[in-house]
């Protein structure tokens, strides 16, 4: 059966504000955002053995769940080349994915370790590490063309998008060509995306606070809260995974 949802996303108008070659989801040499390109060039000069470039998505090529993050952490994914690898946010994320049977290991160490994701793919709203971990609105918009192209490719299999934080939430809606006002962000919110659903498969967007050090240390986001959102994503995606203690 052919799923038309990917075509709907690919045809969405005004989603990115820029024109990107069809199907292009990643460019390791992208310099479309001058501030970010300069920041990474300086980083590579200081740390020539680190990645220091746009970070590609990671995970299942035909996922049931797509996790939409913010941007690579300077000393995490920007250093290692894999999303949520090498920084504090990845500790809770990969532990939770492992407990739900979505990851083969509890800890993501490096881009070339044996860890694999099952039924889930991690994408970011912005592929380059921004100063202070805060991308500018225009940088989110420029990078959205890549997210839109990737979601168009993933939606035939995906059943649930999980947005980490408001920026991930807004970037996902922008990439899908949907209005933010119709889908307000709040932790634990569950949105039916009927415009991109089919009679045989409903597409959902779930919201979670970002699993950042600040959010977890201040208890804005607890392990139980985060686990509950991702467990619900598994239910909606009809993933029957072995739960681990």
Give per-residue pLDDT as tens, 119-153. Answer: 999 999 999 999 999 999 999 999 999 999 999 99
> pLDDT category, 7, cuts 50, 70, 90?
low
User: Has residue 58 got a pLDDT over 60?
Assistant: yes
Report the pLDDT value the prediction gives residue 4, as an integer from 0 to 100. 63
For residue 141, give both structure tokens.
């918009």
209 neighbors 220 (Cβ within 8 angstroms) = yes
**Backbone torsions φ then ψ of 122, nearest 5 degrees:** -100, 125
Q: What is the dihedral of CA 7, 13, 18, 22, to 10 degrees?
A: 20
* Structure confidence by residue, pLDDT tens digits, 204-214: 999 999 999 99
pTM equals 0.91
A 10 A CB-CB count for 84 gives 27
**Residue 153 burial (CB < 10 Å; 0-12/13-18/19+)?**
middle
pLDDT class of 5 with cuts at 50, 70, 90: low
| pLDDT at position 19 | 41
What does the pLDDT average to over 51-79? 98
* Cα 190 from chain centroid (whole Å): 17
Q: Where are the domains of the chain?
A: 20-236
d(CA 128, CA 108): 19
Question: Do residues 54 and 27 make contact, with C-beta atoms less than 8 angstroms apart?
Answer: yes
Q: Report the distance separating Cα 155 and Cα 10, nearest Å.
A: 10
- Which tokens belong to 187? 């932790």
Q: What pLDDT, on a 0 to 100 scale, did the predictor assign at position 240?
A: 75
Alpha helices in 88-244 (DSSP H): 88-99, 137-154, 165-176, 213-217, 223-236
Q: What's the rounded Cα separation, in Å, for the pair 119 and 66?
A: 9
User: How far apart (Å, rounded) are the C-alpha atoms in residues 204 and 169?
Assistant: 12
pLDDT value at position 243? Answer: 62
Please tell me the class of the 20-236 domain. alpha beta
Q: Mean pLDDT of all residues in the chain?
A: 92
DSSP state of 133: G
CA–CA distances in Å: residue 37 to residues 28, 45, 146, 195: 11, 12, 16, 36
Whether the pLDDT of residue 2 is over 50: the answer is: no
Q: How far apart are the first and last CA of the chain?
A: 37
How far is 215 from 78, CA to CA, in rounded Å? 21
Average pLDDT over residues 28-46: 98
What tokens appear for 244 in the block? 């681990």
Per-residue pLDDT of 179-238, as tens digits, reads 999 999 999 999 999 999 999 899 999 999 999 999 999 999 999 999 999 999 999 999
CA-wise closest residue to 35 among 140, 144, 115, 164: 140
3-state secondary structure of 40: helix
Is residue 66 very low, low, confident or very high in pLDDT (cuts 50, 70, 90)?
very high
Contact between 58 and 180 under an 8 Å Cβ cutoff? The reply is: no
């Amino acid at each position: 059966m052919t799923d038309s949802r990917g075509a709907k996303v690919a045809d969405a108008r005004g989603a990115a504000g820029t024109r990107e070659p069809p199907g292009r989801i990643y460019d390791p040499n992208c310099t479309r955002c001058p501030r970010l390109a300069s920041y990474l060039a300086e980083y590579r000069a200081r740390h020539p053995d680190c990645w220091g470039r746009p970070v590609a998505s990671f995970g299942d090529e035909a996922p049931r769940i797509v996790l939409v993050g913010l941007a690579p952490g300077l000393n995490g994914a920007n250093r290692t080349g894999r999303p949520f690898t090498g920084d504090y946010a990845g500790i809770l994320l990969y532990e939770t994915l492992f407990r739900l049977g979505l990851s083969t290991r509890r800890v993501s160490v490096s881009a070339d370790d044996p860890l694999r994701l099952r039924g889930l793919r991690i994408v970011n709203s912005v592929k380059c590490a921004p100063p202070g971990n805060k991308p500018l609105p225009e940088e989110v918009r420029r990078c959205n063309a890549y997210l839109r192209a990737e979601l168009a490719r993933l939606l035939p299999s995906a059943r649930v998008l999980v947005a980490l934080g408001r920026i991930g939430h807004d970037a996902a809606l922008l990439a899908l060509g949907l209005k933010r006002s119709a889908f307000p962000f709040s932790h634990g919110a569950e949105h039916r995306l009927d415009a991109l659903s089919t009679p045989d498969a409903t597409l959902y967007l779930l919201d979670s606070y970002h699993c950042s050090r600040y959010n977890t240390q201040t208890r804005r986001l607890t392990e139980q809260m985060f686990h509950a959102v991702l467990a619900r994503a598994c239910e909606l995606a009809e993933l029957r995974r072995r739960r681990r203690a």
